[in-house]
Amino acid sequence: MNTIPRLDLSSFVSGNTELKNEFVSQIGTAFEEFGFVCIKNIYIDKNDIDAYYKSIANFFALPIEAKQKYEIEGLAGQRGYTSFGKEHAKGSDAPDLKEFWQMGQTVLDLDVIKEEYPNNVMVSEISDFNDLGLKLYRGFEQTGSQILKAIALYLELEENYFDTHIHNGNSILRAIYYPPISQEPKNAIRAEAHEDINLITLLVGASAEGLQLLTKENEWIDINAPEDYFVINVGDMLQRLANNKLKSTTHRVVNPPIEKWATPRYSIPFFLHPRSEMDLTCLASCVENNELHYTPISAGAYLEERLIEIGLLKK
């Protein structure tokens, strides 16, 4: 029971009703039991993933002075560079042992929501950095849209329920660098135990082990996706909408054993967020015969609340 379910997204989009229904049932059950699933055949080319990993490694290898010019005051880490030790888990004062880069939505139509989003920060030192990031961002959006269609069906909603909520949504592509560990850390690990804020998170690979989730039995288990599989998990916004029917699971990135301290770690998660005006009031179908666990709030207000809690936004 401690093996994360592995699914094939092509079953959902195959046009075969039986395979589609089976996928919906399997992913829904996985998100109830684990909050995590491994999926293959997403809308991102492996060559682009490999190229972006190389590109972000080149970025994080730049001198600190070069990187800090991309750390923009007032953006709460939502665009550009965030230096080492700035972010911490909710309820923890110990900063995570990481630095990261974030890219947000690029609005290409006449949607007025563009006014809500700061422009993305463009890196000048690395030629393919910006274009590769945008390409992956679009692939993640396309994949996430299909996953949310399956979730909508599992929650007995219209298949396209999430479509308008995520069109030009406030999603974030994050590239994370966990540097080599040079001395015994003081009360900190690479990423302290936490839950994600958004609807769902999609993670493509990671250059070293360390990701773990906390099971219902209160045991930490490793998450190691096989080659060509990608990790997808429920975020707090979706858990809230589903009134705890789907599980936003606590997870962390632990430090490697001492013999591997010199090994850095890179990872590329995509945090799929809806538009800020989306109402996160618990779905009526998930409240029926169940205690109501959350009060109404918009996605934008909830995001602001959580960014304050993790230290990226000042009150």
Q: Provide the pLDDT for residue 246.
A: 96
Q: Which residues of the chain have pLDDT under 70?
A: 1-2, 88-89, 91-94, 186-188, 206-208, 315
* Count of Cβ atoms closer than 10 Å to residue 208 Cβ: 15
Torsion of CA 260, 249, 33, 156, to 10 degrees: -140
Residue 53 lies in a domain: yes
Residue 25 lies in a domain: no
Residue 24 lies in a domain: no
Q: Provide the pLDDT for residue 114.
A: 96
Residue 12 lies in a domain: no
CA 110, CA 278: separation in Å to the nearest integer? Answer: 19
Strand partners, 81: 101
How many domains, in total, are found in the chain?
1
Instruction: Yes or no: say if 283 and 243 are a contact pair by the CB < 8 Å rule.
Output: yes
Residue 5 lies in a domain: no
CATH number for 72: 2.60.120.330
Largest CA distance in the chain: 57
Q: What is the pLDDT of residues 268-279, one digit of tens each?
A: 999 999 999 999
- The enclosing H or E element of 174 equals strand 172-178
CA 307, CA 312: separation in Å to the nearest integer? Answer: 5
Domain boundaries, position 139: 41-309
Residue 257 lies in a domain: yes
Residue 8 lies in a domain: no
Instruction: Yes or no: say if 232 and 138 are a contact pair by the CB < 8 Å rule.
Output: no
Q: Which two tokens stand for residue 61?
A: 């290898």
CA 289, CA 169: separation in Å to the nearest integer? Answer: 32
Q: What is the pLDDT of residues 178-204, one digit of tens each?
A: 888 877 776 667 778 889 999 999 998
Q: Provide the pLDDT for residue 1.
A: 43
pTM for the model = 0.93
